Amino acid sequence: MRSLKEWHEKSVKIEEGLRYLHLLANDARLFTDNHPKFQDTLRVTHEFWSGLLSEMDAIEIKQIGQDLIYEDVPLGTSLKSTQEVSRSFQERGMESLVFTPGLTIQELTEYAHYMRLSEQHRSQVGSPSVYFVHRGVTHIQCYRLGDMRDDEARREAERQAKGLPVAMKDLSAFRCDALKTIQNLYLQAKVANVLDLDTAQGLVDVFLRESIMNSTTLLGLCAIRTSDEYTSTHSMNTCLLSLSLARYLGVPDDKLPMVGIACLFHDIGKMFIPDAILNKPGKLTPEEWGVMQSHTVLGARFLLSVPNIPTLAPLVAFEHHMNPEGTGYPCPKRDYKTNLISYAASVADFYDALSTARSYKKAISPEKVVDIMLKLEEGKMEPRLKRQFLRMVGTYPIGSVVRLDTGELAVVRRQNPEDSLRPCVQLVTAPDGTPLTQSVAAYLTETRDGGIFVRSVSEGVDPTEVQIDALGVLQEILDADRLQ
């Protein structure tokens, strides 16, 4: 147990440290970063805090009411600098500030930059925790008491700072942020031949978390067909579908992150294919097709160059067009054993590619894609994975729009494991096509007297042709579920 004398000695040093921080923030407002006065204050502030942290390890200062608290005891308010720091923390919502060993001059500079921001500018850059993460500050952590102290909140701040989707509260924003992140990752590979693995893993972590909290809605995002850039949309859908299949098959949770990374970058090799071939609207010549096929080798080669990449990633990039019967590309050697996750990515890749419109082809409706997959020659697709995948997505996937035999239009909201032709749907129009003011859940297993089904699916329809906002309906369902 510490003595009052020991605490007093520490508190005096803490207050001196706060005085330096106060001077640093003031000088940041008055001078440029290169000005000798700012540089001198920055240097002595860094020297003092480095020495302090070498003695005390982590130092946490809390702002509670009008008081600054250190080790659960209020600091004295006799020093004007302590009062000014307290007021500054209050204005910025900095309820807990933690300094840890390793604090750098650059991190103190970023602290000073944030403290000199006006209220208007602070509202634009976000909370101090988000600002510090975005600026790469790791040895100064800022929290709201009772909010930001848990690890998940810290990770959420990091995800927000990186532009990653934070939580699936707004589906449109979540999907947009995810696609933008993937597009940037792929573009980074194409232009700079590098890959931000931390950001990629952060995105996969978000997908995994939401697959637990909102698994059906997350799968529903794969059915949304808009004019988004194809490669990023296809990569996201293949990743989500593969992760869901892996979990469906019982892949251990600790293995799922590497499955997500591998399937997210299964097509990364296409970034090294000439755009004239990649985006050609017509049929490829044999020579062009040969170049296109090389994306598997190019992708694997690139991923092998990425430090700390899971070994599964280059494997899936290389193998995802190989077939169990020994065909496909690159042509495997005799008795070559393809990884099971590569087969899973292959199934998801095939399904999503057929379901998506391209410049040279129209999208195929989900039920027709299912029919095509069922009729594939034996050996073209791993049979167990295909069977489980089709059971998972159903004939009419979550988020797809269907026309019922009553004339009503509906969005599929949940699968029926007993009968894929009778999912749970959300009605969005009356039988005469009039839009409903509020969508209504309906179970296609419902029967009337005589065992006749009240409603059945007649066909799947393109939501753009019937002007149905499927994403908006999924959002309505998600919001309603939260209220229950």
Same-domain status, 189 and 148: no
Burial of 166 (0-12, 13-18, 19+ CB in 10 A): middle
Domain-terminating residue out of 118, 143, 161: 161
| CA dist., res. 392 & res. 380, Å (int) | 20
Spatial distance between the Cα atoms of 60 and 52, rounded to a whole number of angstroms: 12
Tell me, what's the pLDDT at 216? Answer: 80
Q: What is the pLDDT of residues 173-195, one digit of tens each?
A: 889 889 999 999 999 999 999 99
Q: State whether residue 421 is helix, strand or coil.
A: coil
Domain count along the chain: 3
Structure tokens that stand for 187 in this block: 């573009």
Domain shared by 377 and 406, yes or no: no
pLDDT of 145 higher than 80:
no
Give the pLDDT score at 146.
Answer: 53
Write the CB contacts of 318 (distance below 8 Å, at least 6 apart in sequence).
Answer: 296, 297, 299, 300, 330, 342
**Arithmetic mean of pLDDT over the chain:** 87
Distance (Å, whole) CA 39 – CA 34:
7
Residue 195 lies in a domain: yes
Higher per-residue pLDDT: 409 or 462: 409
User: How are beta strands 424-429 and 435-443 bridged, if at all?
Assistant: antiparallel
Radius of gyration over every alpha carbon of the chain, rounded to an integer in angstroms:
28
Host H or E run for residue 460: strand 457-461
Residue 2 confidence (pLDDT) above 80: no
**Residue pLDDT, tens place only, 208-239:** 888 876 778 888 888 887 655 788 999 999 99
Domain-embedded: residue 409? yes
Q: Is residue 474 part of a domain?
A: yes
pLDDT band at 37 (very low <50, low <70, confident <90, very high): very high
91-101 confidence digits (pLDDT tens):
888 888 889 99
Between 58 and 237, the higher pLDDT residue: 237
Q: From CA 111, how far away is CA 28, in angstroms rounded?
A: 10
Does any domain span residue 166? no
Residue that has been written with the tokens 């993460």 in this structure: 133
Claim to verify: residue 215 and residue 353 sit in the same structural domain: yes
Q: Where are the alpha helices (DSSP H) in 335-379?
A: 340-355, 366-374
Predicted confidence band at 148 (pLDDT cuts at 50, 70, 90)? Answer: very low
Q: Which of 1-15, 295-309, 330-344, 408-422 has the lowest mean pLDDT?
A: 1-15
Among 137-146, 401-410, 433-442, 464-473, the range scoring the smallest mean pLDDT is 137-146
Domain encompassing residue 450: 401-483
Q: In this structure, what are the phi and psi dihedrals at residue 100, rounded to the nearest 5 degrees?
A: -125, 155
**Burial (CB count within 10 angstroms: exposed 0-12, middle 13-18, buried 19+), residue 13:** middle
Per-residue pLDDT reduced to its tens digit, 288-341: 999 999 999 999 999 999 999 999 999 999 999 999 888 889 977 777 889 999
Distance CA 458, CA 248 (A): 29
pLDDT at position 153 is 52
Rounded to whole angstroms, the Cα distance separating 461 from 463 reads 6
pLDDT digit string, tens, across residues 361-389: 788 888 999 999 999 887 789 999 999 99
Residues in the chain, total? 484
Could you tell me the CATH number of the domain that includes residue 249? 1.10.3210.10
Last residue of a domain, one of 393, 411, 441: 393
| Sheet hosting strand 401-404, strand order edge to edge | 435-443, 424-429, 409-414, 401-404, 457-461
Integer Cα distance of 467 and 200 in angstroms = 34
Residues 410 and 269 in one domain: no
pLDDT per position as a tens digit, 231-280:
899 999 999 999 999 988 889 888 999 999 999 999 999 999 999 998 88
